[in-house]
Chains A and B, each alone.
Chain A
Amino acid sequence: MNRSSSNSEGPKAEQIIFEFFAKSLHIILESRTPFMSSRNFSGDQMLCSPCSSSSSSSSVRPRDKWFNLALRECPAELESFDIGRRSSVEPLVVDVVLVVVGGEQDETKNEQVIERWLVQYDNRRVKEAAAASASSSGSSSNRRSSSNNKLQVMYKKATLLLRSLFVMVRLLPAYKIFRELNSSGQICKFKLVPKVPTIVEPFTRREEAEMQKFAFTPVDTICGRLYMSVLYRSLSDVSCQHSSPVSPTFITDYVGSPLADPLKRFPSLPLSYGSPPLLSFQRRHSWSFDRYKASPPPSVSCSPSPTRSDSQALVRRLPDIPTGRRKESYVEECFPSQEFSPPCSPSGHVDAAVSRGITRTESAPVRIPAPSFESKQNLVAPSPRLKLLRQASLKPVRNSGAAESGAGLEKLFLYGREDFRRSSGVRLSTNSSPRISLSRSSSRSYQDDIDDTDFPCPFDVEYDEITDPSSRPGSFDQRGDIHEPPLDSSGGSYPKKSQDAAVGALVNMLKKAPPLRQDISESSVPEIYWNNNNKTGLGQEIAAASSMTASGIGLAAKTTADAMEELRSYKEMKNVLLSQSTMGSSSVTATTPFDVTES
């Protein structure tokens, strides 16, 4: 008899105890797991799919009936608990950990246990109860009723305890953190992570001293005693600083931005303008102007819009060009826009085209526009000026105001050097089409380049310069000099060997173009822009270019001298190479602009 009664009580009691553990865990997790569930149960259609198959919020789930407390969502941890605890009644420890987001690598320094719940069942009284029941006398019915009564009392007390737990979890400081995390619109530097550790690390004495304890009154069961307690930190101990709501800011160091790419800058060119222009400058396309970042990135908030700031910077900067005080880093920005009007400009097309090109740098490899892109007839017309810009740009830009105007070209040219090598190759071949593309590796004919006005190519201008009739290899071939292209050259279609010559010249320029840090005296100017036979005209153009920047006149003159010097060196090289080529096969691909005559 005793056995039958005890047999029925035991499993029931164990089930009550197990469900008590599960309910406790559910209550704790429900109020410590952010974003788990909505707050108010009434009216919500919260479903606990892992817990039950109930499809209606108004229906009572089986688990809700336990202790007459219908809770909200069933957290995943509870499910794992269910699986793990069916066979044992070991103590349940729930650590509520405050984790600092984005903290140090060492996780231990970023975590702090702000609460530790302990639910424990002590069945040491089982033996005592068994002994008492064995020695007790009385009818079996009395014992059954007594056992049932005890179960009811035990269940009632467990229900009361869980009610208290439900209220208590909302009074502790961690609940405020939980609510803060659940609130929307804030990015917190911390998160709340409830854990059910399998291995519980005891607190140190110091930690325990810092924490407060609340112990619920134990619930006597027929075969043991249920304990529940909590160690918690007061709010003052918990650093729950969170960032203010994120206000819209502009990310300047996005992937691919100049700011994200710590490229070399030119410290010798101090900025003369404030942050906003610089920001816009730096927000040009990464590949095009990254390396010309001349100053530290400004604050993020100084520009209303990256895209708009670029265009604004362009407009802003234009008036500064003539002053000649532009720094190297601003060259490409200063590069022509509508206001950029070299004195010798025959038309405004260049300005517009160049400005177009500048604006295009924001998103793609820059195509230095020229009227030639649109009209082959006009290809040559702007070239002298562009040449001037080019030659100016090839000088150490940091010292040259005139160079600023063309520095953009130079930079593009220099930047595209490697890409150009990769894409177009150093070797020039009559059978190959030059690939004047900074970013594309596919071969394109020059004609395609010409025809495709939208094709972003940083070397288009140089290419056009190169293919300028005045700078054709043919001219070299004929006179060994670079002819200055006539201003009224009709342009027209360029023969293919000019194309190869242009490529070669380009390659040579790339190879020999001095770094921007170089001294002026060391700079080299592609000889295609120089014509010994037309020094006067060239000088005029140079003067015209220098006139664009008031303070750059002297620098322009100096540039000319250096260019002449370089021209002489190129001539010598050319002669050497020509002599070599005549000895070698005709299919030898030219590696210098001087060889283009062969192809």
Chain B
Amino acid sequence: MNCEACQLKELEVESFEIREVLRCILHTIVFHRALGLIRPKDVDLELFEITYVQCGEIEVEKKIDEKIEQLITWIDKHPNKKCQICLSFYEVKTKQPSWFTNKIERSYWEQWHISLNVLLPTKPPIGKSHHSKLVVDPGEESEERSSRRTLLEQSLQEVLFQIIKFVNEKKDHVPPINDGVIYCPFEITFPSASDSTFGMDMLKRMLHSGSHPSMLS
């Protein structure tokens, strides 16, 4: 079976917006892949005028929330970094047990790549407001933030439209509906410290901050 992949549009978010944005995107995708009998649940975003749909399964909600919290923790430790979240749907195939393996093989048939560019909050230098050129007028800052928020809302809507289009265009690769299966099993992954890009990220941090590199997470 082919593994279809969809790269969603990159979103620029602030740290406090990550949770809502990710919940919206992840639940929308999972809802499209919850082909069992479900009772959909509408959820309003607090930061944006968007209503997304959850499949209504508590397990799904828990799993997504856990992953989001892990991601936020990771982002806090790795600030100013682009984040790639991967939502993968798979089928469970049990291999024939052998002497050494009794592995349950996962056959991924779809992957969704969510790109987040986490922005650092802009703060005026402490104690240097009357000298620094980086002083930001509170009014301008709020205007800038609101415009950025508006853009983010539009981008998020575009991402949701993108999801709908992809789901509509690609249907053949979706496994058949199995009785008793509410939603297609999935997993959410994001890059960790073990990524190959770790070294480059560390170098960049050293160049910017000039401080000792932080402990590995």
Contacts and interface: CB of A to CB of B under 8 A. Distances in A.
Q: Check if A and B associate.
A: yes
Contact of B37 (A64, A157, A161, A167): A64
Interface stretch (B62-70, B166-174, B200-208): B166-174
A163 B31 contact: yes
A199 interface: no
B53 A167 contact: yes
A171 B41 contact: no
A164 B32 contact: yes
Interface in B24-45: 28, 31-32, 34-42
> Which of B51, B169, B176 is most buried by chain A, counting CB atoms within 10 A of its CB?
B51
A242 to B, nearest CB: 16
> Which of A64, A166, A171 is most buried by chain B, counting CB atoms within 10 A of its CB?
A171
Contact of A41 (B34, B41, B161, B176): B41
Interface string B40-74: 11100000011111001000000000000000000
B160 A156 contact: no
A40 B42 contact: yes
Interface string A144-184: 00000000110111011101101110110001100100000
A118 to B, nearest CB: 15
Given A156-B171, A157-B171, A39 B42 contact: yes
A120 B196 CA distance: 51
Contact of A68 (B38, B51, B53, B171): B38
Given A163-B31, A164-B164, A156 B174 contact: yes
Given A160-B174, A167-B160, A42 B41 contact: yes
A167 B35 contact: no
B35 A41 contact: no
A573 interface: no
A167 B38 contact: no
A68 B168 contact: no
Contacts of A216: 168
Contacts of B174: 156, 160
Contacts of B120: none
Contacts of B168: 160-161, 164, 216-217
Looking at chain A's contact residues, the main secondary structure is helix
Nearest to B168: A217
B35 A159 contact: yes
A70 interface: yes
Given A41-B56, A42-B56, A171-B157, A163 B37 contact: no
A13 B40 CA distance: 26
Contacts of A39: 42
Interface in A26-70: 39-42, 60, 64-65, 68-70
B135 interface: no
B41 A163 contact: no
B36 A160 contact: no
Interface residues of A, number: 33
Given A164-B32, A167-B32, A156 B38 contact: no
Looking at chain B's contact residues, the main secondary structure is mixed
A36 to B, nearest CB: 13
Given A42-B56, A65-B37, A167 B176 contact: no
A176 B38 contact: no
B92 interface: no
Contacts of B52: 167, 170
A167 B164 contact: yes
A171 B176 contact: no
A159 B178 CA distance: 13
A546 B34 CA distance: 92
Interface string A211-246: 000101101000000000000000000000000000
B104 interface: no
Given A41-B56, A42-B56, A170-B52, A163 B39 contact: no
A163 B42 contact: no
B129 to A, nearest CB: 39
Nearest to A179: B51
A65 B176 CA distance: 16
Given A42-B56, A156-B176, A167-B53, A68 B167 contact: no
A152 B176 contact: yes
A153 B175 CA distance: 10
B37 A60 contact: yes
Nearest to B171: A157
A39 B40 CA distance: 10
Contacts of B167: 160, 163-164
B177 interface: yes
17 contacts: A40-B41, A40-B42, A41-B40, A71-B40, A152-B176, A156-B176, A159-B35, A160-B167, A163-B34, A164-B32, A164-B167, A164-B168, A166-B53, A167-B31, A171-B50, A171-B160, A176-B49
Given A69-B40, A156-B174, A160-B171, 19 more contacts: A41-B40, A42-B56, A68-B177, A70-B39, A156-B171, A156-B177, A160-B32, A163-B31, A163-B34, A163-B35, A164-B164, A164-B167, A167-B163, A167-B164, A170-B52, A171-B160, A176-B49, A217-B169, A219-B171
